[in-house]
Amino acid sequence: MAFSKLYDSAAAAVADIHDGATVLLGGVSGANAPTALVSALADRNLRDLTCVCDSTYYGAEALHRLVAAGCVSRIVSPAPFGPGSEDIVQNLWRSGDLTVEVVPWGTLAERMRSAGAGIGGVFLPVGIGTRFAEGKEIRVINGVECVFETPLRGDFALIRALRADSVGNLVYAGAQRGWNSAVVSAARVAIAEVDQVVEAGSIDPERVITPGIFVNRIARASSAPIG
């Protein structure tokens, strides 16, 4: 049998995610989120998860379900609260049942990129004079004050892609590529939810955005057959 990273279901793909895990979520502002994987994770009734994401609104219903189930104790996000009315994330934060760490978008991307690159962190000219710099090392580099930011690593990454071959090479549609390259490299195990799975060698190498070496598991977003 040919080697394949394809799992039978989203539930099987997330079956070993454990209590206390740090889970990096792909998707931009809730769009193109790995909803099947996150929903399957909510069914596990885990506890004390840390979820790192772009935002918790605009299509983040699966994440809200995970939070409402009591699975998440901490969220790291540039935009943890949606505009307008309060939601489950904001309500739990106000009650003290959920910890929220706000990290600027660029800083979050660089922290994950540092983890994926295996470097010890980065100095960024962001947050000087604000609470984002409290307790952190500050250096003057080329005349500019910079804050030291540590790498942000994940135990698992959950992402969404348009197409994958059986060994994990991924093709994205539009904004799907936004955070995915950062989260898959920063995680120990990367799991992709895809709309279509094709045989190895079927994708033009020039169209591959995330190489299969970064992807550990694949789960179909639908019951579409391989082809």
* Domain spans in the chain, listed from the N-terminal domain onward: 10-119+151-220
Whether residue 226 has pLDDT greater than 50: no
The residues that bridge with 55 in the sheet, in sequence order, are: 79
Q: Where residue 227 falls among pLDDT bands split at 50, 70, 90?
A: very low
pLDDT number for residue 84: 67
Whether 175 has a pLDDT exceeding 90, the answer reads no
Split at pLDDT 50, 70, 90, the class of 2 is: low
Q: What number does CATH give the domain 10-119+151-220?
A: 3.40.1080.10
**Rounded to whole angstroms, how far apart are CA atoms 126 and 78?**
13
| Banded model confidence at residue 1, pLDDT cuts 50, 70, 90 | very low
Q: Return the percentage of the chain with pLDDT > 90, whole number.
A: 76
What are the structure tokens assigned to 131, written together?
A: 């609470």
* CB contact burial 49-86 (16+ within 10 A = b; e otherwise): bbbbbbbbbbebebbbbbbeebbbbebbbbbbbbeeee
Q: In whole angstroms, what separates CA 40 from the centre of its chain?
A: 15
Q: What is the pLDDT of residue 39?
A: 92
| Two tokens, residue 219 | 């789960």
- Summary mean pLDDT of the chain: 91
Q: What pLDDT, on the 0 to 100 scale, is given for residue 215?
A: 97
Of the pLDDT bands very low, low, confident and very high (cuts 50, 70, 90), residue 223 is very low
Q: What are the pLDDT digits (tens) for 35-86?
A: 999 999 999 999 999 999 988 876 678 888 999 999 999 999 998 887 766 7
The whole-number average pLDDT for the span 134-152 is 96
For residue range 187-222, list pLDDT tens digits in order: 999 999 999 999 999 999 999 999 999 999 999 986
**Position 29 confidence tier, pLDDT thresholds 50, 70, 90:** low
Stated pTM of the model = 0.92
